[in-house]
Amino acid sequence: MQKTIKVGVVGCGYWGPNLIRNFRAVPNCRMEVICDLNQQRLKHINGLYPEVRMETDYNRLLTESGVEAVAIATAVRFHFPMAKASLMAGKHTFIEKPMAASSAECEELMDIAQKKGLTLMVGHTFLYSPVVNRIKQIVDSGDLGDIRYICTRRLNLGLFQKDINVAWDLAPHDISIILHIMQEFPGDINCRGVAHVTPGIEDVTCMNLNFRKNRSAIIHSSWLDPRKIRETTIVGSRRMLVYDDVSQLEKLRIYDARVERPPHYDTFAEFNYAYHYGDVYVPHVKQEEPLKAECQDFLDSIREGREPISSAQKGLDVVRILEASSESLRQKGAPVNFLTGPARRPITPEPATNAVADKKSSDTTLLKR
């Protein structure tokens, strides 16, 4: 019989309640304590789950609750200090995306987790999506041919953030999907964007990732669009695929469409592109909640002592790309080149910060002892 793992969730704003619900649904998991500064939110959650302990002090959660694992769903600027405090207290740690505010912070957390033999995982939920994994199978099978480019659009009206731009807020989903499909890190990136509403915080961005073999990916992110759009297009040399995550029924469509360049011709008059239009195929994909699978993987990786699917390394890769996008924005869209492989930086110990905040909340306060 599997050991029951006691879990604490920090932050019950926008995303935290989803984690709480799914951890409660996973077998051999005890949702032990929920931590937040907002008394109204705690009261609301307590009404839903009266058996779970409510806490406003993060230090008490780490030292007095008896939890073995902590899930952090707070504002991005608190991911590093809270995750570091959790790891230093000997807790397996799950962090919502993005993993931290810099690659140096990610690397420090990874080093602490490795030295202490703890599981460190990042919440890239789409890596557990049945649709995304079906797409990966289709790409790997060669059904689409050689991948030429991927284009993603993640658009909606809000939710505006005060500490990160729209790329850091929305693009991590698309970056994680693209890296999962491409199975390689880009050679360079460029990003352009505009801050229309809050000075200094871009609310519309367009990011370009360039890979080997002339492959590329375009990521369009916006908080200023009238419709909610979650769409990924993959263009191959044989077929094309469209993934519409907003669609209730036909999330995945494969188009038997392509364009071919004639291999040779004697005169310009003989030169003609060949366009092929075939059928549209809608693969059936059994719908399961990715977040439940993600929570299950976190607990299983703790029990089995293995790396989770959404590993800390994958979290670091996403943050490296986001860092480069910010640098490109500062350079007005100039490309930023990556070194071959992520360079690890020396560890500089810092005192842990005791902080709790609702993710995507309008007000964040530091807790003090």
Q: What is the pLDDT of residues 24-75, one digit of tens each?
A: 999 999 999 999 999 999 999 999 999 999 999 999 999 998 999 999 999 9
| Predicted pLDDT of residue 364 | 36
Task: Please identify which residue in the block is written with the tokens 């952090």.
Answer: 72
Task: Look at the alpha carbons of 18, 24, 27, 32 in this order and tell me if their dihedral is positive or negative.
Answer: positive
| Triad 202, 171, 362: Cα angle to 5° | 55
In terms of residues, how long is the chain? 369
Burial of 249 (0-12, 13-18, 19+ CB in 10 A): exposed
First CA to last CA across the chain, in angstroms? 39
| Predicted pLDDT of residue 205 | 98
pTM score: 0.89
Structure tokens at 205: 């961005």
* SS3 state of residue 139: helix
| Predicted pLDDT of residue 135 | 98
| Predicted pLDDT of residue 132 | 97
Cβ 83 vs Cβ 54: under 8 Å: no
b/e code 219-240 from CB counts within 10 Å (16+ = b):
bbbbbebeeebbbbbbbbeebb
Mean pLDDT within 310-329: 97
Least confident piece of the model among 66-70, 80-84, 364-368: 364-368
pLDDT digits (tens, 9 = 90+) for 214-233: 999 999 999 999 999 999 99
* Topology agreement, domain 5-118+339-366 and domain 127-281: no
CB-side exposure of 175: number of CA atoms within 13 Å? Answer: 31
pLDDT digits (tens, 9 = 90+) for 83-112: 999 999 999 999 999 999 999 999 999 999
| Triad 346, 349, 352: Cα angle to 5° | 140
Kindly list the domain boundaries of the chain, sorted by start residue.
5-118+339-366, 127-281
| Predicted pLDDT of residue 264 | 64
Domain 127-281 CATH superfamily: Dihydrodipicolinate Reductase; domain 2 (3.30.360.10)
Q: Which CATH class is domain 5-118+339-366?
A: alpha beta
